[in-house]
Amino acid sequence: MRLKRLMTCAIAGAGFAALAGASTVTTCPAPQPSNVMSPTFTSPYVCGPLSFGDFAVQNVGDQPFAKINIGQSVFEDNGTTQTVTLNLNPNLDLLTGTAGVRLWYTVTSSGMPITQIGAGMSQDGTLTKVVCNVAFSGPDGTMCSDEAGTVNVTGPAAMSTGIAVSGTTFFVMETITGDAPIHNTALSQVFTMGPSLPPLADTPEPASVVLIGTGLVATGLIGRRMRKA
């Protein structure tokens, strides 16, 4: 009977673990209009618990215009951590010269803190992504006085190492460049949310370790005597 109860509890525990590990995926439609600098663009753009706003775009290349569009994005929740993949179109399409566009935006989580920020690029070009804890400043808006981290990605088919962060609001600046001929219409931004890490437990002092060891030995001796009795 006892064995049957233990087996029932084990099966129930496995079932709960499977449910906890299941992921739900939600598609976030592209905004209309999708051009972040359009006069009628609705800001912020929301996908899952994240809001993206304060967009600004600058032309840093030879193309006649600079434009960033937001595409269909994805929110995934596995019960413990969450991920939002923000898909952007940098509209880099140039036959001669150097293409380049710079983008600024703010990302804010309404739920769990953001713990990692990364990027991926499936087409040609080079991406430099700077994540700042405070708003960018300086004459050209590129100065970060409290940087969380920087990643560089060179496409095609490249994914950055995520920047480890901890907070609910970050300021992001991305510069995408490339020598012509270049065609780049796909850029992914990956944001991971999760519970804040608990503080590390205090390491026992050597004397404490000795006392713990002595207690374990004593417990073992008592158990051995009880079995002999």
* In contact, 130 and 144? CB cutoff 8 Å: yes
Domain boundaries, the chain: 22-193
pLDDT of res. 21? 57
Instruction: Assess whether pLDDT exceeds 60 at residue 212.
Output: no
Distance CA 210, CA 27 (A): 56
Alpha-helix residue ranges (DSSP H) falling in the chain: 2-21, 206-228
Beta bridge partners of 82: 77, 193
Give per-residue pLDDT as tens, 40-94.
999 999 999 999 999 999 999 999 889 999 999 999 999 999 999 999 999 998 8
Nearest residue to 111 (alpha-carbon basis) of 37, 55, 50: 50
Tell me if residue 223 falls in helix, strand or coil.
helix
Q: Give how far the C-alpha of residue 18 lies from the chain's centroid of Cα atoms, to the nearest Å.
A: 24
Q: Give the pLDDT band (50/70/90) at residue 219.
A: very low
Rounded Cα distance, 171 and 139, in Å: 17
* 215 φ/ψ sector (left φ>0, alpha ψ -120 to 50, else beta): alpha
Task: Report pLDDT for 196.
Answer: 63
Give, in words, the CATH class of 22-193: mainly beta
pTM of the prediction?
A: 0.76
The pLDDT tens digits for 108-157 are 999 999 999 999 888 889 999 999 999 999 999 999 999 999 999 998 88
